[in-house]
Structure 1
Amino acid sequence: GLKNFDKVTSNSVLPKYPQVEWKKAKGLRDIISHHYFDVNAEAIFKVCKDHIHNLGETIKKIIDEI
């Protein structure tokens, strides 16, 4: 995921795209993966509704540029 991508790119790519809160995205992934009993479904839905489009567009830009 994001942590591995950041590692193999020596932390040089994601900082170029500050429109995404990468630290929070990585943290959310960890919460969903490891603390799923504590996940608030409404909060996850809000994050998806508010941020997934921007994340997808940014990932497309990264792919096009590398």
Structure 2
Amino acid sequence: MPHITLGRFPPQRGADALRLESAVALTAFRAEFQARDITLFRSDRSPRGSVYTALAAYPLA
């Protein structure tokens, strides 16, 4: 399933968190695609890799 991960960062504290937020805010992103819906997933890490669970789907049409 095609997807876009908007962000995944290790927990940050203090000045490290502010630097990370600033870097993300200044990053330009451009992509063109057509989507029929948006699905919100929960991602849980396990020793065998990430496990994704769909929580909600929102049609765009």
TM-score, with structure 2 as normaliser: 0.27
Larger radius of gyration: 2
Which structure: greater strand fraction?
Answer: 2
Which structure: greater helix fraction?
Answer: 1
TM-score, with structure 1 as normaliser: 0.26
